[in-house]
Structure 1
């Protein structure tokens, strides 16, 4: 069997603005952030992406991560907030990253997906991710997954849109992200997953960064995972400890950041802006645990029941 290629994923939250108001969303920085989003500036965006693609290239011997592990591909995962609120800027960022040889993915709440947007982005994407925490209106209202008018994601439109995306780009893979929390941990996602047929289902335990309103116990989280054992071939779980300091994340201002050893938003660890000081110096200013990254990667190469053991 050929060796599966490793990807190093950089998550760029291009905006914190969102049409939803999920209680546990950590992608909230300060009230002035929207005015300082560098995705609005073509020159700053180009510099940022060039720095990232050069420093995190698998061929760059100056990258200290290579002492711990090696990767074959570099992928830019575009997130938010809701990145599709910035459709024109988003399309440009995707084109710029692809032109630099980076693979590109996006994670969206799905509310702005339609035939036009799918036709615009699908050809450049390796992954299309949609955050779905519930198919129940009551749970979504509690979580905050609705807009100012109370409108929620129409899950029924997704199969057709996913089919369109795959027809445009046969190599495109579909991912569903679910945050397990107090409002949804007793639900059964079987029908939803059978309808959407994703290639991957990432299941996160709610991380109480902003507040603890929807926090759950490890027992409740594991019960949710076990309830969906029929989907072990596509399901990958991450608890709170596994998520900390194991992602490379860039905020809307172009700064690397981590939620290091804290549950308080105000205590995020930030670098200086990458487009101003370069990726190498910025990366030296934050904490990144390569062992955790490697552990997460290994966990995603095996069925979930193997990593759960006898629990």
Structure 2
């Protein structure tokens, strides 16, 4: 069914960079590069222009947007993602504030390793959601997954948790979301202690999506067992299996192009639009595949 709720929120995911201080083996953040092109985030003026152009096109009530009659959202959120967006920690506060001032609600998804109290304090007043990507509490599993930096350092989960808790107390409107990618290495793990400690507003449990490779793919039975093991959190978790993630996100790559996955991504790669700042958002988005029905199923509530 189409999303028709008057409280529906449209989320635009801007992947600032492909770079990451971790090397997760199933990461889908690997985009086709254009010779001589540079990530938009490296140019402050271009970044602001992109944010402004995206908001103009996706602003609530824009009847010229082809999604308007299918979804009719009443708010729009810009989610800063990566790679690891905090590799641009010096630029991020200005981008978050500008997006907020333009009219976006804002959010961030990070692996948490570079999330300092000072940085979070700068951006939290302008953010609605903080997302943390946490795939294991076991150091050995994290190393096997690739959630370790070049120096061999793992996430300081206790320190990061303390920082987040402190800033959320100062900014009570800020909500916390945990993303967990279930794969062959963590499928037998129990996250009860972690989720109980962090008390997130939402826990997104995603099945590893083999759009780049088949490494660490998890079986149907193992994924189902992981979900069942955590039914105590059914009031806050949202399950995303592979078919739900295909063509159900609005995504912008580091070069400022819309891009999309699909059933053919593993063999043919992502679908790309022309650069948004060259073509304009309406023309760039015109031929992008997007399923309003799958999006509506994923966002049965605003989050």
Q: More displaced, 282-291 or 30-39?
A: 30-39
DSSP 3-state at the match of 1:54: helix
Deviation per residue, 1:39-77 (Å, 9 max, x gap):
111221122111111110111110111121211110000
Q: List 4+ stretches of structure 1 deviating above 4 A.
A: 30-35
Distance of 2:34 and 2:282 partners within structure 1? 26
Partner of 1:129: 131
State yes or no: 1:38 paired with 2:40.
yes
Aligned to 2:205: 203
Work out which of the residue numbers 89, 98, 108 in structure 1 matches 2:91: 89
1:72 is aligned to 2:74: yes
The question of whether the paired residues in 2 share the 8 Å contact of 1:118 and 1:164 is answered with: no
Q: Which residue of 2 aligns with 1:231?
A: 233
Residues in 2 aligned to 1:76 and 1:225: alpha-carbon distance in whole angstroms: 28
1:218 aligns with 2:220: yes
Give the unaligned 5+ runs of structure 1. 302-311
- Aligned ranges for residues 269-284 of structure 1 at < 5 Å? 269-284=271-286
Cα displacement string for residues 189-227 of structure 1 (whole angstroms, at most 9, x for unaligned residues): 000111111111000000012221200111111110000
- Please state whether the residue corresponding to 1:106 is helix, strand or coil: strand
Q: Which runs of 5+ in 2 are unaligned?
A: none
Output the TM-score relative to the length of structure 2.
0.94
- For 2:10, the equivalent position in structure 1 comes to 8
Match of 1:146 among 130, 145, 148: 148
Distance 2:105 2:165 in 1: 21
SS of 1:92 mapped into structure 2 = helix
Instruction: Indicate how the Cα distance of structure 1 residues 273 and 189 shifts in structure 2: closer, same or farther if over 3 A, else same.
Output: same
Whether 1:185 and 2:169 are equivalent positions in the alignment is no
* Worse overlay, 76-85 or 277-286: 277-286
**Aligned pair in 2 of structure 1 residues 105, 86: CA closer, same or farther (>3 Å)?**
same
SS of the aligned residue for 2:103 comes to: coil
Residue 285 (structure 1) shift: 2.5
Q: Name the CA distance, whole Å, in 2 between partners of 1:265 and 1:56.
A: 31
SS in 2 for 1:141: helix
Q: Out of 262, 274, 292, which is 1:290 matched to?
A: 292
The size of the alignment, in residue pairs, is 298
Give deviations 1:267-311, integer Å, cap 9, x for gaps: 21000111111111111121111111112222x58xxxxxxxxxx
**Which residue among 101, 104, 123 is the counterpart of 1:102?**
104
SS of the residue 2:216 aligns to: coil
- Contact 2:6/2:74 (CA < 8 Å) preserved in 1? no
Instruction: Compute the TM-score of the two structures, normalised by the length of structure 1.
Output: 0.92
- Contact 1:201–1:234 (Cα < 8 Å) also in 2: yes
> Could you tell me how far apart the structure 2 residues matched to 1:265 and 1:87 are?
34
**Partners of 2:37 and 2:255 within 8 A in 1:** no
> In the aligned structure 1, how far is the partner of 2:16 from the partner of 2:284?
17
Query: Counterpart in 2 of 1:28?
Result: 30
Alpha-carbon separation, structure 1, partners of 2:117 and 2:18: 25
For residue 93 of structure 1, give the secondary structure of its aligned residue in structure 2: helix
- Flag the 1:265–1:7 CA change in 2: closer, same or farther, 3 A: farther
- Which is worse superposed, 14-23 or 277-286? 277-286
CA RMSD in angstroms, aligned pairs only: 1.7
Rounded to whole Å, the distance in 2 between the matches of 1:35 and 1:279 is 19
TM-aligned CA distance change 1:19 to 1:265, over 3 Å: farther
